[in-house]
Amino acid sequence: MVLLTALGAGLVFGLAYSRWQGIPYRPPELRANWLVFLAFLPQLIVLYLPYRVSDQISALCLLASLPIFLGFTWVNRNVSGMKILLLGLALNFTVMAANGGFMPISPQTAGQLVSENVLLDFQSGDRFGTKDIYLTPEQTRLEWLADRFLTPAWIFHRVAFSFGDIFIAIGAFSILAFSSLVEIKNRGIPI
């Protein structure tokens, strides 16, 4: 949800800024787009298929997709915002790899997302949702990189997100928001 919001906001900003400058919006020129599709396939198994696969397969799928996404961002690292996105992906991959393939979430953070009655059913080490693992801070490796932040309470669908997700969102926003700046600079228009 955080990523989709960042992409949408970046696109709206980029379109508005281009229109204000009187030039057509130019989406970023990205190479090796097929890597995004390839990276999405393992996540499709975990996140979107109607059946639930084992924890081991889910962890493997989640971990397998991130190096492919990292490869895509590395190939496109000269695109504005891509290095920030690369950093966020690397942070998330690091904490997930250190914690068995899932993103750790603490009881305190999880307690803000579900009721106390639901939380009573969770034991340490259980999956929480599709990509998280329920761990105490003491059990979590690199706890400062875990899903520990929450979207505001007034948002309809609250989610937890990590430090890496913040970089991913900033990078994704920048990629779409500032892709037309190359054209603006080429035309000598003051920014």
In 3-state terms, what secondary structure has residue 153? coil
pLDDT value at residue 156: 83
pLDDT band at 182 (very low <50, low <70, confident <90, very high): low
Query: Is the model's pLDDT at 183 over the cut of 70?
Result: no
pLDDT in tens, 92-113: 999 999 999 999 999 999 999 9
- Mean of pLDDT values over 47-70: 88
pLDDT in tens, 19-39: 998 889 989 999 999 999 999
